[in-house]
Amino acid sequence: MNLRQVHQDSLAGFIASRKKEGLKSNTINRDLAVVRRVLILAARLWRGDRGRLWRDDRGRPWLDTPPLIRMLDWKDARKSYPISWSEQERLFAELPSHLREMALFKVNTGTREAEVCGLRWDWEISIPELSTSVFLIPGELVKNGEDRLVVLSTVARAVVNRQRGDHDEFVFTYRSKHENRPVERINTKAWRRARDMTGLTLVRVHDLKHTFGRRLRAAGVGIETRRVLLGHKNNQITTHYSAVEIGELIEATERVGYQRGSTPTLTLLRSPNVDANGGSRKSHAFGRNKKGYAYVTL
């Protein structure tokens, strides 16, 4: 369409088609935000950061006034679904090896899908005092714009070490018959097939990050430490952590490493009649403890 034809009404068909595909409002809103941004620039910007003109050959803006693009307000956001240890075992067992390694790294570091897929060897920084290493992901590739410090627990470090030598640039790759190429996403047909086979159809890739955060909280890790480990915006200079501070962060991640019988129990407060498919089920136990808090034993 001509730029002047792009407005709320003309986007109705696009919105309807995306909704028909089963996409949530947050996903569609991200698309609409791009459209809205372009329209605003077309009306207000003279020259872009790359010297690209946003005016016609007479110097006039492409639009006199940007049209109002309203974001969707559907109450359809899916709640997070942190998985239990048994669910993790079942799900990961059905994944192909390259996705299993990425998922295991993700659930032990709290990284986002794009951060795992794009992880590069030249972001690894050795910490000789601790006989280990960390990764520092550049801020321009992180959702909140800040450099992302990724510390490695024993499990995460083992995952990384198993990838060494496979690729010169990327940590996680997939070896096909013809090449060894980086993995673009974890949420593939193989991931969704594994969910279906284990009955965990509500589990999203991002829920692995939620799982890491919930396990940290269950282990008694403080909120400030959790914010750093999860890569939340905290206005700290991530390049100025001392070896002692990094050691403390690593110690916190080790507290949620899987060692049968020694990890803190994560009690997930779910409806006793709803399973990971959104269907009904019978829980093993449901009741209230002495303080009156509801609990579900899985």
Profile the chain (298 residues) by mean pLDDT over runs of 10 residues: 90 91 85 92 75 76 89 76 94 96 96 95 94 92 87 96 94 86 93 95 93 95 93 69 90 79 48 50 41 40
Classify residue 262: in a domain, yes or no: no
Classify residue 274: in a domain, yes or no: yes
Output the pLDDT for position 79: 80
Classify residue 214: in a domain, yes or no: yes
Are both 95 and 235 inside the same structural domain?
yes
Classify residue 69: in a domain, yes or no: yes
Per residue in 106-124, pLDDT (tens digit) is 999 999 999 999 999 999 9
Are both 135 and 170 inside the same structural domain?
yes
Are both 215 and 131 inside the same structural domain?
yes
Output the pLDDT for position 281: 44
Contact indicator for 67, 39 with CB cutoff of 8 Å: yes
Domain range for 284:
267-298
Are both 176 and 249 inside the same structural domain?
yes
Classify residue 260: in a domain, yes or no: no
Question: Is the pTM above the cut of 0.85?
Answer: no
The CATH number of whichever domain residue 234 belongs to comes to: 1.10.443.10
Classify residue 261: in a domain, yes or no: no
Closest CA to 84 of 195, 192, 262, 208: 208
Say how many Å lie between the first and final Cα of the chain, rounded. 53
Output the pLDDT for position 239: 59
Are both 232 and 193 inside the same structural domain?
yes
CA gap 69, 76 in Å, rounded: 20
CB burial of 198-215 (b: ≥16 within 10 Å; e: otherwise) equals bbbbbbbbbbbbbbbbbb
